[in-house]
Amino acid sequence: MSLLEVKAVNRILTDNNGQRVPVLNNINFDVEPGEFVSLIGPSGCGKTTLLRLISGLDQPESGTVKVNDKLVTKPDVSRGYVFQHGSLFPWFSIRDNISAGLRVTQGRHFDQALVDQYIDLMGLKGFESAFPHQVSGGMAQRAALARSIIMHPELLLLDEPMGALDAFTRADIQNVIYRVWQQTKTTMILVTHDIDEAVYLSNRIIVMTPRPGQIKEIVTNPLPYPRQRTSDEFLKFRQQIQDKLNFGAKDQVAAS
């Protein structure tokens, strides 16, 4: 049985003028336990909206989203969510941010050793007492990832968590996410605009069309892990995904 099932999902939003705007149109896909799946497509195609539907933060006009064959109707701790800017609590230290969920679910006797484990895993040792404004964007994202993954979600939703980072830090966080995924076997879904990121991390890549977002193609990544970003095989597959994203480019060239 699939962990996630998205079936015939449609979503319509209302703009500032009161006009109804179709955002997602007839979205269908499954995700198996332990998979890493990326959603990629042009800005405004509904990737984040789709992630919010999976999380339970939003509801579709029609269609269903199921996790473990149960209808998603609201957020749940079994589905972690990491935002682009991390959304750390500014009044909490890095350690307190990471343990925030544990304190809610386990009370004051939460597992301190587990927090230490994730501080080490994320490379945050020595910064436990710092506040979010005292650390780099990359460290803040590491803490946000730790805060979500420490709750052992069945499904971790990543909404462009590296989008605001410089190239070096971005690659570093990609490696952190890969290491966490390999160690925890958590099912992950990543929204990204970065083709290299999707190719580096994903088992499968869902290519979406411009708004209203539809699934153009679901592509299985043939590259074995760990992946080398400069290998011929990597660059060849990257080009395949790039070609699938160049909607109408060949027609436009022909017409000119």
| DSSP assignment of 73-103 | -S--TTEEEE-TT----TTS-HHHHHTHHHH
pLDDT at 78: 92
pLDDT at 86: 63
Sign (positive or negative) of CA dihedral 224, 225, 230, 235 = positive
Distances (CA, A) of 159 to 105, 122, 145, 156: 24, 19, 11, 10
Residue 100 structure tokens: 């925030």
Sequential pLDDT tens for the chain (256 residues)? 899 999 999 999 988 888 899 999 999 999 999 999 999 999 889 999 999 999 999 999 999 999 999 999 999 989 999 987 768 999 999 999 999 989 888 887 888 899 999 999 888 999 999 999 999 988 998 999 999 999 999 999 999 988 778 888 889 889 999 999 999 999 999 999 999 999 999 999 999 999 899 999 999 999 999 999 999 999 999 999 999 998 554 443 333 2
Sign (positive or negative) of CA dihedral 213, 70, 203, 101 = positive
DSSP conformational letter for 212: S
Distances (CA, A) of 246 to 27, 41, 83, 160, 256: 20, 10, 27, 21, 16
Q: How many angstroms separate the CA atoms of 214 and 212, rounded?
A: 6
The parent domain of residue 56 ranges over 4-255
Q: How many angstroms separate the CA atoms of 196 and 126, rounded?
A: 31
Question: Tokens 């959304």, residue?
Answer: 87
Does pTM top 0.75 for this prediction?
Answer: yes
Q: Are 149 and 185 in contact (CB under 8 A)?
A: no
Q: What is the CATH number of the domain that holds 138?
A: 3.40.50.300
Angle between helices 167-184 and 112-121 (to 10 degrees): 130
Q: Which element (helix H / strand E) includes 167?
A: helix 167-184
Number of domains in the chain: 1
